Amino acid sequence: MSEKARENFGSRFTVIMALAGSAIGLGNIWRFPYMVGEHGGAAFIIIYVLCSLFIALPIFFCESILGKSTGKDTFGALESVAPGTKWKNEGYIALLGSFIIVSYYSVVGGWSVDFLIRSFMNDFKGESFEEAAGIFRHMTSSIWEPIVSLTAFLGLTAAIVAMGIEKGIGRFAKVMMPLLFIMIVIIVVRSCTLPGAGKGIEYMLKPDFSKIDGPAFAAALGQGFFSLSLGVGCVLTYSSYMRKEENVFYTGVWTAIFDTFFAILAGFAIMPAVFSAGLEPSAGPSLVYETLPVIFSRMGPLVPIIFFLAILIAAVTSAMSMLEVLVTWLVDQKGLSRKKATTLFFIACWIVGCVCAVSSKVFSICDFMSSNVFMMFGALVFALVVGWKMKKEDVRTQFTNYGTSHKAGAVFSVVWFLIRWIAPIGIVIIAITNLL
Ligand code: TRP
């Protein structure tokens, strides 16, 4: 595809909202708050921020530089930067990673469609926790219900992606992301003013440094990678649609700030409500789909609607970014039209998604492989290619946007060191810790 014909996101606000949309997702809502509580409250938040600053954010910059400087998909970007080498094969791994993640992620996204409809019908009113757990178990063990909702979720995601970068993804993100923030703030206010909410706030904030150990660091970094959508080409692909005058440093920093802020907000939306109901928090599906519907429906019929709508928006904007990695590849490398490419991958992801929807075993394998193997490997390759294959001056030019960003210029030497040494070594140590 010629340079001229390539779309772009338009305004800077749109790029940041699209990247924040990719970053803010289920990872923020159902994993982060629980991890914080388990690994020492504010102490974990501190190491999470450190890991994000020193390892995750530099990788984000690498992907962004690769995408923006080449204006190509993952495969094409690696080929441009390291022509004739094997590095471009990472393109296949990124594709596989995005493909697998979007397929199983859509199953969970589908559940939120299902629960949003149930919330509209006021299904959870007056239910006990056991009954709500029964609803969830019944839904996930039926065959057709998860498949119908998966189809709806993936269909919505694909429809937006098919509309293009500016008119589809960009427009959806710039309208929906601010709305998402408003919705989560409403829930935070409701939740923190409940009787007994203080314990939940304490759970999130009380620092317990004795819980900071190796596994806590591994958890913080893994969460940081997942949350910033790293290692499978999402950031690279979105950055390839930035306008030339956009600033990689600025967009990266703002995306990370929004992402972390939202994760903490999600904690304050969820944990005070859980504790005020006299419960102990858990993570994942049982928290979001068994406990919270009941607690939130006690707070009024609108609260579950707002909550599941928020999850749906968060999940769709994340799924879009993964589907876009696949679509951009087919368009750039194989010359397909955007609509054809989206349709093909919609079908392929739907098939794998259906398998994940009916088999929890396949679901867990996909989850494990993507976060421990594909993402880590991809992140390592991106760091090595930018840190060791690109010339330092070229990286500086891209990072500072041809010397126009003085703030980026001021931190460049630190970022360069992080990209070359700290990030790769950190990734290797953590990947090994996770796999052992
Ligand atoms: N970051 C998203 C979340 O927190 C999920 C996500 C989108 C993702 N794209 C990704 C995770 C790429 C890993 C890799 O839910």
Residue at 4 is within a domain: no
Which atom of ligand 1 is nearest to 105's Cα?
A: 5
Is 6 within the bounds of a domain?
Answer: no
Per-residue pLDDT tens over the stretch 101-113: 999 999 999 999 9
CATH, residue 297: 1.20.1740.10
Instruction: Please give the full DSSP string across 254-322, using - where no structure is assigned.
Output: HHHHHHHHHHHHHHHHHHHHHHHTT-----HHHIIIIIHHHHHHHT-THHHHHHHHHHHHHHHHHHHHH
pLDDT value of residue 285: 81
Question: For a pocket test of ligand 1, which of 322, 327, 367 has the largest count of ligand atoms closer than 8 A to its C-beta?
Answer: 322
Distance 303 CA to ligand 1 centre (A): 25
Among 234, 367, 369, 377, the mutation site with the greatest number of ligand 1 atoms within 8 A of its Cβ is 234
Give the percent of the chain with pLDDT over 90.
Answer: 86
Say which residue the tokens 């803010």 belong to: 24
Ligand 1 nearest atom to the CA of residue 23, by list position: 1
The pLDDT value given to residue 1? 46
Provide the token pair at 132: 């709500």
Q: Which atom of ligand 1 is nearest to the CA of 98?
A: 12
pLDDT of residue 2: 46
- What pLDDT score does 32 carry? 93
The pLDDT tens digits of the residues spanning 321-372 come to 999 999 999 999 999 999 999 999 999 999 999 999 999 999 999 988 988 8
Closest ligand 1 atom to Cα of 321: 9
Cα(222) to centroid of ligand 1, in Å?
11
Determine the residue of 98, 184, 227 to mutate for testing ligand 1's pocket, defined as the one with the most ligand atoms within 8 A of the Cβ atom: 227
Å from CA of 243 to ligand 1 middle = 23
CA of 59 to the centre of ligand 1 (A): 14
Write the pLDDT tens digit of every residue in 1-20. Answer: 444 568 999 999 999 999 99
The string of pLDDT tens digits covering residues 381-396 is 999 999 999 999 999 9
Q: What pLDDT, on the 0 to 100 scale, is given for residue 226? A: 95
3-state SS of the chain is: CCHHHCCCCCCHHHHHHHHHHHHCCHHHHHHHHHHHHHCCCHHHHHHHHHHHHHHHHHHHHHHHHHHHHHCCCHHHHHHHHCCCCHHHHHHHHHHHHHHHHHHHHHHHHHHHHHHHHHHHCCCCCCCCHHHHHHHHHHHHHCCHHHHHHHHHHHHHHHHHHHCCHHHHHHHHHHHHHHHHHHHHHHHHHHHHCCCCCHHHHHHHHCCCHHHCCHHHHHHHHHHHHHHCCCCCCHHHHHHCCCCCCCCHHHHHHHHHHHHHHHHHHHHHHHHHHHHHCCCCCCCHHHHHHHHHHHHHHHCCCHHHHHHHHHHHHHHHHHHHHHHHHHHHHHHHHHCCCHHHHHHHHHHHHHHHHHHHHHCHHHHHHHHHHHHHHHHHHHHHHHHHHHHHHCCHHHHHHHHCCCCCCHHHHHHHHHHHHHHHHHHHHHHHHHHHHHHC
Domain presence at residue 1: no
- Average pLDDT score over the chain: 94
pTM of the model: 0.96
CA distance 10 to 164: 12
Measured in angstroms, how far is the CA atom of residue 27 from the centroid of ligand 1?
A: 7
Kindly state whether residue 7 falls inside one of the protein's structural domains: no
Q: Report which ligand 1 atom has the smallest distance to the Cα of 28.
A: 4
Q: Which residues of 198-218 are buried (b: 16+ CB within 10 A; e: fewer)?
A: eebbebbbeeeeeebeeebbb
pLDDT of residue 210: 94
Q: What is the DSSP letter of 82?
A: S
Q: How far is the CA of 414 from the centre of ligand 1 (A)?
A: 26
- Tens of pLDDT, residue by residue over 22-79, are 999 999 998 899 899 889 899 999 999 999 999 999 999 999 999 999 999 999 999 9
State the CB neighbour count (10 A cutoff) for residue 348.
14
Range of the domain at 39: 12-435
CA distance 318 to 102: 9
Ligand 1 geometric centre to CA of 36 (Å): 18
Q: Are 9 and 165 in contact (CB under 8 A)?
A: yes
Residue 265 has pLDDT above 50, yes or no: yes
28 Cα–ligand 1 center, Å: 9
Specify if 41 maps to a domain: yes
pLDDT at 379: 97
Bigger pLDDT: 219 vs 313: 313
Q: Which residues line ligand 1 (CB under 6 A)?
A: 22-23, 25-28, 101, 226-227, 229, 232, 234, 318, 321-322, 375
Per-residue model confidence as pLDDT tens digits over 145-175: 999 999 999 999 999 999 999 999 999 999 9
User: Is 157 a member of any domain?
Assistant: yes
Task: Let me know if residue 241 belongs to a domain.
Answer: yes
Q: Is residue 417 part of a domain?
A: yes
CA of 16 to the centre of ligand 1 (A): 15
**Count of domains in the chain?**
1
Residue 176 has pLDDT above 70, yes or no: yes
pLDDT in tens, 282-329: 777 888 899 899 999 999 999 999 999 999 999 999 999 999 999 999
- Counting ligand 1 atoms within 8 A of each CB, the residue from 24, 103, 105 with the most, and so the one to mutate, is 105
Residue 280: pLDDT band (50, 70, 90) is confident
The alpha carbon of 228 and the centre of ligand 1 are apart by a number of angstroms equal to 6
Closest atom, ligand 1, to C-alpha of 259? 4
